[in-house]
C-alpha cells in the first residue's frame, strides 16, 4: 500500500506496529489487520498479549456472525498479527502507534526507548486522548514524523479518529496518516494540539459534572444515568460510560485539562479521585460506579 510523498518518492505502508495490548491497542491491531496490513503488537506482558489475541479472535468472530467479514477474512487477519515484548519487533514497521496507559512519563519513556529500533523514515503516532503531541514529539528523534492518532473505544465499532499535529509535524506526515485512517475505514477529524483535543475536551467535563452531581447528592447513580439516557437520548449514562472508559483514564484526562488550562471548571471531582484511589476503576476492575460481579451491574452508591 503506497502513499506518494511530496518530493515524489513513495512511502509504502505495509506494516503497522502497536505498543500496548490493552483494550485500545488490541482494537487498533484488529482494525489494521482487517484492513490488510501486517501488524506487530507489543506489550511488556506475554499474558496481556495472549489475552489481546483472544479478545481480537472473539471480536472478529462476532463480525463473522453478523456477516461483516467472512471466516476467510478473519483467518487471514489473525495470521497478519505477530506479537512480542521487544521493540526490535518494530524494525521493519512503516508506522508505529503508541497506545500505552494515559500517563505522560510512561509514554515519554516508551518513545525514547523505541526510536533506536526504528528505520529512519518510520512515522510514530500516539493514541493519547489528552496529552500534548508537541511535548511527546520532542523526546523523539523525528518530531516532524510524529503526530496524534486518537482512536475511539471500542475501536472496531467507532468510526472516528482524531488527528492531531504537533508544532513540528510535517504536512506530508499528516497527509499520509490521514490517508491511512481512511484505509482503516475510519473518519478522520482534525484537532489542534490543546489539552484533550475535541472529544474528551467536551465529554470528560460532562462525566466529571455527573460525578459532582452524585457527590453533591443531587441524584443517585441510577437516576443520573437514566436522566441522561432518556432526557438527552444518550446511548449510555455518563457514570456507566465512565466505568466503560476506566475511571483512572477519566481522572488522568481531567488532570491534564485542569493543569493544562488552569481553569477551576476542570477540577476533578473528589469522589472520582476517591474511587480511583480505592482501585474501583470501572468494568476492567469489576467495580466502579457499578458493581459488575453479578449477572447485572448494580450501582455502588
Q: Where are the domains of the chain?
A: 2-191, 200-299
φ and ψ at 190, to 5 degrees?
A: -80, 135
The answer to whether the bond into 102 is cis (omega within 30° of 0) is: no
pLDDT of residue 11: 67
Residue 166 scores a pLDDT above 70: yes
Sign of the dihedral through C-alpha 187, 191, 195, 198: negative
pLDDT in tens, 117-130: 999 999 999 999 99
pTM of the entire predicted model: 0.89
Q: Which residues are catalytically annotated?
A: 129, 150, 162, 200
Judged by DSSP in three states, 163 sits in strand
Share of the chain above pLDDT 90, in %: 96
Cell of 60: 472478529
Q: What is the CATH number of domain 2-191?
A: 3.40.50.720
Confidence band for 12, pLDDT divided at 50, 70 and 90: confident
Confidence band for 6, pLDDT divided at 50, 70 and 90: very low
Rounded Cα–Cα distance for residues 81 and 52 (Å)? 11
Sign of the dihedral through C-alpha 89, 90, 93, 95: positive
Residue 244 scores a pLDDT above 80: yes
Q: Which CATH class is domain 200-299?
A: mainly alpha
Question: Would you say 180 and 187 are in contact if contact means Cβ atoms under 8 Å apart?
Answer: no
Rounded Cα–Cα distance for residues 3 and 14 (Å)? 11
Amino acid at each position: 500500500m503506497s502513499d506518494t510523498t511530496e518530493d515524489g518518492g513513495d512511502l509504502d505502508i505495509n506494516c503497522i506496529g502497536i505498543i500496548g495490548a490493552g483494550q485500545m491497542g488490541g482494537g487498533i491491531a484488529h482494525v489494521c489487520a482487517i484492513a490488510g496490513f501486517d501488524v506487530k503488537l507489543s506489550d511488556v506482558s506475554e499474558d496481556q498479549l495472549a489475552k489481546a489475541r483472544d479478545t481480537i479472535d472473539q471480536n472478529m468472530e462476532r463480525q463473522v456472525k453478523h456477516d461483516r467479514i467472512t471466516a476467510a477474512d478473519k483467518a487471514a487477519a489473525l495470521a497478519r498479527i505477530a506479537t512480542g515484548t521487544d521493540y526490535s519487533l518494530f524494525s521493519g514497521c512503516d508506522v508505529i502507534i503508541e497506545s500505552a496507559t494515559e500517563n505522560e512519563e510512561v509514554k515519554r519513556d516508551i518513545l525514547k526507548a523505541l526510536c533506536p529500533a526504528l528505520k529512519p523514515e518510520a512515522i510514530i503516532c500516539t493514541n493519547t486522548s489528552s496529552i500534548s503531541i508537541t511535548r511527546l514529539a520532542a523526546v523523539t528523534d523525528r518530531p516532524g514524523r510524529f503526530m496524534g492518532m486518537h482512536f475511539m473505544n471500542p475501536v472496531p465499532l467507532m468510526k472516528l479518529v482524531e488527528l492531531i499535529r504537533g508544532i513540528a509535524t510535517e504536512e506530508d506526515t499528516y497527509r499520509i496518516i490521514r490517508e491511512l485512517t481512511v484505509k482503516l475505514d475510519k473518519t478522520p477529524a482534525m484537532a489542534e494540539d490543546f489539552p484533550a483535543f475535541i472529544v474528551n475536551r467536551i465529554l470528560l467535563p460532562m462525566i466529571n459534572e455527573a460525578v459532582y452531581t452524585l457527590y453533591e447528592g443531587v441524584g443517585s447513580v441510577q437516576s443520573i444515568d437514566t436522566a441522561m439516557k432518556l432526557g438527552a437520548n444518550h446511548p449510555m449514562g455518563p457514570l456507566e460510560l465512565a466505568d466503560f472508559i476506566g475511571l483512572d483514564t477519566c481522572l488522568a484526562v481531567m488532570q491534564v485539562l485542569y493543569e493544562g488550562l488552569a481553569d477551576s471548571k476542570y477540577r476533578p471531582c473528589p469522589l472520582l479521585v476517591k474511587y480511583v484511589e480505592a482501585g474501583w476503576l470501572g468494568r476492567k476492575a469489576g467495580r466502579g460506579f457499578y458493581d459488575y460481579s453479578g449477572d447485572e451491574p448494580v450501582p455502588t452508591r
